[in-house]
Amino acid sequence: MKLEKIKEFKKFASEVILKVLMKMDKDYQNYQKLDDYDGMQKIKLEFIPKYEALYLEFTNDISENLDELDDKKIESLMGIVNDIMKVNNINIDYILDEVEKREKLTGKSGAEAVEKLFKYQIKELESKMEKLLKQADIILDSEGKLEAELRDAIQEDAQMEFLDQLVIVRSKWSALEKKTIQCKSALDGLKDSLLKKWTYDIYGTISQEELKKVFSSEMKNK
């Protein structure tokens, strides 16, 4: 009975936290559209991390610390969750309906689709990064050879030729470096999103078909 009570509490609490995180994610996107850097930073660095930590805590599997979650502890935690609901104007019946939807859609929800998309994008970016690093090795090798030839060159014409080639090679390196930084940034962001879970779990109460319609509508409005 106790185990079941804890499981039900965690389902409810995690759904509440997800709704708050979803709202914050939308607020962040709105600030982004307005180019409001301060608003974006406040949500990203001050608000979201607190709820991310709570979500991971509530969605952890029942662990060895099960005995520590007695009735009083659960009541205390439920008080915190209730406060969060009041502040964010979240209705209890709405959360119960969302919990039910999530359970019914398990395996065919938008959450699974977005998680798969993240994993696919990560593989694609890892492949791209590998190619970029191979290109970097080739460019660095070319640069090293040209620098050695420049040092050994005696005639001015030869020196100028090697210098011109070095300018071209270094220009290629600069362009490649930008691509590599962008690729790594996108890759790190996706891996972070996959690790945090809530970034795709927020779509767990809508079907994959509904999610496609939402994304299609958003793309048309851009």
Region 20-27 average pLDDT: 95
Of the three residues 104, 136, 170, the one that is the final residue of a domain is 104
Q: Which domain holds residue 12?
A: 2-104
Of the three residues 46, 73, 104, the one that is the final residue of a domain is 104
Residues 204 and 153 in one domain: yes
Residues 116 and 149 in one domain: yes
Domain count, the chain: 2
What is the pLDDT, as a whole number, of residue 18? 97
What is the pLDDT, as a whole number, of residue 60? 74
What is the pLDDT, as a whole number, of residue 38? 94
What is the pLDDT, as a whole number, of residue 4? 78
Residues 216 and 122 in one domain: yes
Residues 82 and 170 in one domain: no
pTM of the model: 0.82
Residues 42 and 61 in one domain: yes
Cα separation, 30 vs 2, in Å, equals 42
Residues 71 and 144 in one domain: no
Residues 126 and 94 in one domain: no
Of the three residues 89, 104, 119, the one that is the final residue of a domain is 104
What is the pLDDT, as a whole number, of residue 77? 82
How far is Cα of residue 202 from the mean position of the Cα atoms in its chain? 12
